Amino acid sequence: MDDSPQNIQLVDSHLKDEEYRISFSQSGYDAIDKVRKNSFDLILMDIMMPGLDGLETCRRIHELPEHHDIPVIFLTAKIDKESIVQGLEAGAVDYIVKPFHGAELLARIRTHLALKTYREQLEAINVDLNKEILRGIEMEEKLRESQQEIVRINRQPYKKATEDSLTGLLNRQKMMDFIEYEYERASRTKKGFSIVLTDIDFFKKVNDTYGHDCGDVVLKGVADTILAQGRKQDQVARWGGEEFLLLLPDTDGRGAYTLAEKIRKK
């Protein structure tokens, strides 16, 4: 479920060779209607949707008596801890941050389909537990190991892997992922994007004169100023020591220049 046809096409390009039967929805209401009429093993869902967002859609699907255990994985560009917690509380079993790698998407899908299979098999075994006790123990162990693996993945220091610890901006590695994603999207849609690279003049003098603690305050202040001038869809990273990089989707050179001047004056 995603309101963007481009995102649906991208996911489909990764899944079409895996022999999955796939259905698409571009709204929460349509997704709920399809779940009522069909039997699904897993749902991939965007959080930010017009009308009925992904969080509410997930809650409503799990309120349906026959579909309360469908695993839902959120595909989302929202990487703040609060959004992740809200998604898990809404009933999602996992989340994947956009832009994502195809290998990660397929690996998590396989893991949760396997978990669903193990749960269903355990339920069948419990009907005749006395005859199948050994098989039940083996499957329960597999389920426990799979769940521990998911917990281990989700407990990894996610922000450390994607954000600059001082400024809270994206780090260089995560920004490269966004640039690659934007390049692929621009190649399909034929819409351009711009990149702005900026640094703080004479920053070494700040550190030498007032100390590195003061320099950290300056870096954080500049980062906050840059964020305040951009749009929601713009991405900002700390590129180096006192360097910052902005990724501006659907923006030409004139628009990038205008924003750069706005930031410089601030």
Radius of gyration of the chain (CA): 23
Known catalytic residue: 145? no
Token representation of residue 110: 């396989």
Looking at this protein, which amino acid is placed at residue 257? Answer: Y
Q: Kindly tell me the sign of the dihedral angle through the C-alpha atoms of 232, 233, 234, 236.
A: positive
Q: What is the DSSP code (8-state) at residue 65?
A: G
Burial of 260 (0-12, 13-18, 19+ CB in 10 A): middle
Q: Which of 120, 140, 242, 243 is catalytic?
A: 242
Tokens (6 digits) for 60: 């409503």
Other beta carbons less than 10 A from residue 232's beta carbon:
6
Catalytic center residues = 242
